[in-house]
């Protein structure tokens, strides 16, 4: 039986692994893992942009009345939409002609391809995980939490200017500016309470708290041993977490959580703790670019090599900034 062309084997391997690779992104990122459990991962359904509907005002016709009094039927515009660009990412899986000859035979080639595709998937997963906390300064990168739930909330998000529209500003609390001192184990709960009470609207409240290494450690130190209760769902997924006001406090940092590391940070930024309402924060991958192969094969015009691309497209969106907040060190 003849051996399949290397490009066909690579494509089949990528397609067979795409669902697992997509799932691994959410399994290995504390925030995305929690969003998945909350049903906050929604596929993009086409269009030139990702439209996220939002309510920005109350219906102005609500009124008390008596008898035959005229009622207010003036149309109220209460809905608009934030618009998010579809961001794209890709990683190349390459093989030289020499490698193809050295691994002649389908079994040896499949083993080599599986390892190389696996490495490409892991690299792309890390790229997306890093982007989840980006600040929006890179124009092609996914919108990250430093942009969506910003320390200075008058920025523009989803095409809506927070400087113009105050409803489109997240809550922010600066440790030094608002609290008077840097975060310590002695004051962290007070700071957390100060921001939390501004994010509760009836039954609407933060259901995810994400912190970097230092913030998680300080919160952990502030608790008495009997208070160190974890959320079983988050713990079973492999993430260290505590509880605060019924919300899991997730450590999303670990060995990549320090800017001084040689590896780019892969978690929450240093000194930041996010208070998120998963009803309004969505991870929006495109079903046709969710760790899938981008066809066809690419062949270098002046090299003996075969290239396959693994692609992803989508964005992180928010539909109510006002009910999300951040505790930051400034």
Query: Which residue, among 278, 275, 53, 246, has the nearest Cα to 170 in the 3D structure?
Result: 275
- How far apart CA 198 and CA 97 sit, in angstroms, is 61
Q: Which DSSP state fits 142? A: P
- Find out whether 126 and 266 touch, Cβ atoms under 8 Å: yes
User: In this structure, are residues 209 and 274 in contact, taking their beta carbons and an 8 Å threshold?
Assistant: yes
- Arithmetic mean of pLDDT, 94-101: 82
Computed over every residue of the chain, the mean pLDDT equals 84
Q: What is the 3-state secondary structure (H, E, C) of 26-77?
A: HHCCHHHHHHHHCCCECCCCCCCEEEEEEECCCCCCCCCCCCCCCCCCCCCC
Q: How far apart are alpha carbons 35 and 275 in whole angstroms? A: 13
Q: What is the mean pLDDT of residues 79-106?
A: 85
pLDDT of residue 79: 58
Residue-level pLDDT at 230: 60
% pLDDT > 90, the chain: 49
Q: Given pLDDT bands bounded at 50, 70 and 90, which one contains residue 302? A: confident
pLDDT at 110: 74
- pLDDT average, residue stretch 139-163: 95
Q: What is the mean pLDDT of residues 59-88?
A: 87
The encoded tokens of residue 88 equal 């794209």
Over residues 86-112, the mean pLDDT reads 82
Supply 245's token pair: 């006001």
CA distance 233 to 221: 22
Q: Which among 280, 314, 289 has a CA at the least distance from the CA of 170?
A: 280
Q: What is the pLDDT of residue 145?
A: 96
- Check whether 118 has a pLDDT greater than 80: yes
Phi–psi pair at 298, nearest 5 degrees: -105, 130
Task: Name which of 67-76, 107-116, 193-202 the model is least confident about.
Answer: 107-116
Give the integer Cα–Cα distance in Å for 144 and 62: 37
Helix (H, G, I), strand (E, B) or coil at 300: coil
217-247 residue pLDDT tens: 999 999 876 565 665 555 444 455 789 999 9
Highest mean pLDDT among 67-76, 196-205, 251-260: 196-205
**What integer pLDDT is reported at residue 299 of this predicted model?**
64
Would you give the distance in Å from CA 110 to the centre of its chain? 33
Higher pLDDT, 295 or 36: 36
pLDDT for the residue numbered 293: 85
Q: What is the pLDDT of residues 6-24, one digit of tens each?
A: 555 665 666 666 666 676 7
Q: 151 Cβ partners below 8 Å, 6+ apart?
A: 172, 174, 272, 326, 328, 330
Q: What's the per-residue H, E or C state across 73-118?
A: CCCCCCEEEEEEECEEEEEEEEEEHHHHHHCCCHHHHHHHHHHHHH
On whether the CB atoms of residues 43 and 287 are closer than 8 A, the answer is: yes
Quick: pLDDT tens for 249-261: 998 875 555 444 4
pLDDT band at 189 (very low <50, low <70, confident <90, very high): very high
Q: What percent of the chain has pLDDT over 70?
A: 80
pLDDT tens digits, one per residue of 25-53: 777 787 888 888 889 999 998 788 999 88
Reference 325, options 284, 280, 285; nearest CA is 280
Residue-wise over 67-81: b if at least 16 C-beta within 10 A, else e?
Answer: eeeeeeeeeeeeebb
pTM of the predicted model as reported, rounded to 2 decimal places:
0.83
């Amino acid at each position: 039986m003849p051996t399949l062309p290397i490009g066909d084997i690579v494509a089949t391997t990528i397609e067979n692994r795409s669902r697992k690779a997509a799932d691994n992104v959410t399994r290995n990122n504390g925030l995305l893992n929690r969003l998945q459990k909350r049903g906050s991962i929604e596929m993009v359904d086409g269009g030139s942009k990702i439209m996220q509907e939002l309510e920005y005002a109350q219906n102005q016709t609500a009124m008390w009345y008596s008898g035959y009094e005229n009622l207010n039927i003036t149309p109220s515009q209460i809905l608009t939409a934030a618009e998010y660009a579809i961001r794209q990412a890709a990683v190349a899986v390459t093989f030289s002609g020499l490698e193809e000859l050295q691994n002649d035979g389908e079994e040896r080639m499949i083993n080599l391809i599986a390892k190389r595709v696996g490495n490409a998937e892991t690299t792309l997963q890390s790229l997306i995980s890093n982007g989840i906390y980006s600040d929006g300064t890179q124009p092609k990168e996914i919108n990250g939490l430093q942009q969506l739930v910003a320390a200075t909330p008058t920025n523009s998000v989803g095409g809506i200017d927070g400087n113009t529209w105050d409803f489109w500003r997240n809550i922010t609390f600066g440790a030094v500016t608002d609290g008077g001192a840097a975060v310590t184990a002695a004051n962290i709960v007070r700071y957390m309470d100060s921001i939390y009470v501004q994010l509760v609207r009836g039954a609407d409240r933060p259901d995810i708290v994400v912190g970097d290494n230092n913030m998680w450690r300080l919160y952990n130190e502030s608790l008495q041993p009997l208070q160190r209760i974890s959320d079983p769902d988050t713990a079973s997924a492999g993430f260290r977490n505590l509880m605060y006001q019924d919300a899991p406090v997730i450590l999303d940092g670990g060995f990549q959580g320090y800017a001084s590391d040689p590896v780019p940070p892969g978690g929450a930024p240093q000194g930041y703790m996010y208070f998120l309402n998963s009803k309004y924060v969505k991870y929006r991958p495109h079903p046709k670019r969710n760790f899938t192969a981008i066809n066809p094969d690419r062949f270098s015009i002046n090299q003996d090599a075969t290239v396959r691309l693994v692609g992803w497209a989508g964005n992180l969106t928010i539909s109510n900034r006002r009910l999300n907040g951040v505790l930051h060190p400034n």
